[in-house]
C-alpha cells in the first residue's frame, strides 16, 4: 500500500482544519506502519506550509493559523508516542516568553507552534513571566534564541529589562534575541538592543530559521 495516501490525508486534514480527520488520519498512518517522523515532515508539515501560504496571500487569517496549529497538535498526540527518543533532528533551541505583567500569549503561542513545525525545540515559559525566570531559563537551557513578546505598551520596557539582565549575566552575546507583539516596532527593538523585531509570526519564524540555517543541525 502506498504510504502517500496517508500522507495526503494528514496534509488535507490540516488544510481543512479538521480536528476529527487529523486524528483518524494519524491513527490510520500509524496502523499502516508509516514512519512517524515521515508522517510529520511529509504529511503534516506540508499542510502547515499550505496554511502559511494561504495566510501570506490573505486567503487565510490568524484564526486559521491558530486552528491549524491546534489541529496539528491533535494529530501529534497520536503520532508522538511512536517516535523513538533521540530520533528527531533539531534545528535549534528557542526559549520563549511573554514578559511580566502581560497575559497576552496568542502571538507567542502561534510562534511556538510554527517553530516546532520548523524543527526547533521550544521551551515555552508561558505568559506574565518575571525577568529573573527568563534569565534563569537562558542560563539553564543555553538556547540559540530567546523570544520575548508583549502586547501592552506598559509592559514593553520589560523586554529591555530582560536584555539588560542578559548583559549583566554575561549571556547577551551567547543568544539571539527576537521580540514581537502588536505595539513593538523596529525602532523600539533597536533602542533596547534586540537582534530583530518580528513583523508577524511567520516572519519571526523565518528569521529564526535563517539564523540557524548556516549552522550544523544539533
Partner 1 sequence: MHRVDDPTGGEISMAEMTRRERIMTATHKKRADKLPFFCLWRHSHVGWVERECRNRGMGIFWARPPYITKMHGVKSSETQVVSSGKVVLRRTYSTSVGSVYLDEKREPGVEQWKGLSSWRNVAPWQTERLIKGPEDYKILKYMVENTEYIPYYFPIEQAMDWLGDDGVVINSLPYSGMQTLMVSWIGSEGGRFFIHHAKYPDLVEDLARAINKSREPLYEIAAKSPAPVVEIGGNIDGVLVNPKLFQKYFMPEYEKQAKVLHKHGKLLATHMDGRVGVLKDLIAKTPIDIIEGLTTPPVGDLPIGEALSLWKDKAIWAGFAGSVLILGPEPVKKLALNLLREIGSGDRLVAELSTEIILSDENMLLLTSILEKADLPLTKEKIDRIERSLA
Q: Which of 175, 91, 192 is nearest to 137 (CA)?
A: 175
Write out the binding residues for partner 1, residues 123-152 only, by CB under 8 A: 127-128, 152
Measured in degrees and rounded to the nearest 5, phi and psi for residue 146 equal: -115, 125
Segment lying near partner 1 (by CB under 8 A), choices 27-35, 43-51, 76-84, 99-107:
99-107
Cell digits of residue 89: 533532528
Residue 126 corresponds to which cell in the numbers above?
A: 508561558
Among 62, 168, 169, 217, binds partner 1 (CB under 8 A): 62
Cα gap 165→144, rounded to integer Å: 17
Considering only residues 105, 134, 144, 208, which one is a binding residue for partner 1 as defined by CB under 8 A? 105
Check residue 50 for interaction with partner 1 (CB under 8 A): no
Size of the site for partner 1 (CB under 8 A): 31
- CA distances 202 to 88, 129, 134, 205, Å, are 23, 23, 23, 5
Q: Please report, as ranges, the residues that interact with partner 1 according to CB under 8 A.
A: 17, 19, 58, 61-63, 66-67, 69-70, 101, 103-106, 109-110, 127-128, 152-154, 156-157, 182-185, 187-188, 191
Amino acid at each position: 500500500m502506498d504510504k502517500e495516501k496517508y500522507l495526503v490525508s494528514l496534509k488535507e486534514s490540516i488544510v481543512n482544519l479538521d480536528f476529527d480527520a487529523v486524528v483518524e488520519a494519524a491513527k490510520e498512518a500509524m496502523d499502516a506502519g508509516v514512519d512517524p517522523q515521515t508522517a510529520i515532515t511529509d504529511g503534516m508539515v506540508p499542510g502547515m506550509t499550505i496554511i502559511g501560504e494561504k495566510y501570506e496571500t490573505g486567503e487565510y487569517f490568524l484564526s486559521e493559523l491558530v486552528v491549524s496549529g491546534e489541529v496539528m497538535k491533535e494529530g501529534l498526540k497520536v503520532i508522538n508516542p511512536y517516535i523513538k527518543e533521540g530520533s528527531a533532528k533539531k534545528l535549534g533551541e528557542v526559549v520563549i516568553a511573554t514578559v511580566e505583567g502581560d497575559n497576552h500569549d496568542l502571538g507567542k503561542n502561534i510562534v511556538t507552534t510554527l517553530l516546532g513545525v520548523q524543527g526547533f525545540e521550544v521551551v515555552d515559559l508561558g505568559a506574565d513571566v518575571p525577568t529573573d525566570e527568563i534569565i534563569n531559563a537562558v542560563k539553564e537551557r543555553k538556547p540559540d534564541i530567546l523570544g520575548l513578546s508583549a502586547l501592552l505598551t506598559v509592559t514593553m520596557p520589560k523586554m529591555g529589562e530582560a536584555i539588560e539582565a542578559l548583559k549583566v549575566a554575561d549571556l547577551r552575546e551567547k543568544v539571539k534575541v527576537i521580540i514581537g507583539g502588536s505595539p513593538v516596532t523596529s525602532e523600539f527593538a533597536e533602542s533596547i538592543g534586540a537582534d530583530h523585531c518580528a513583523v508577524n509570526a511567520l516572519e519571526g519564524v523565518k528569521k529564526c530559521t535563517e539564523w540557524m540555517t548556516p549552522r550544523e543541525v544539533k
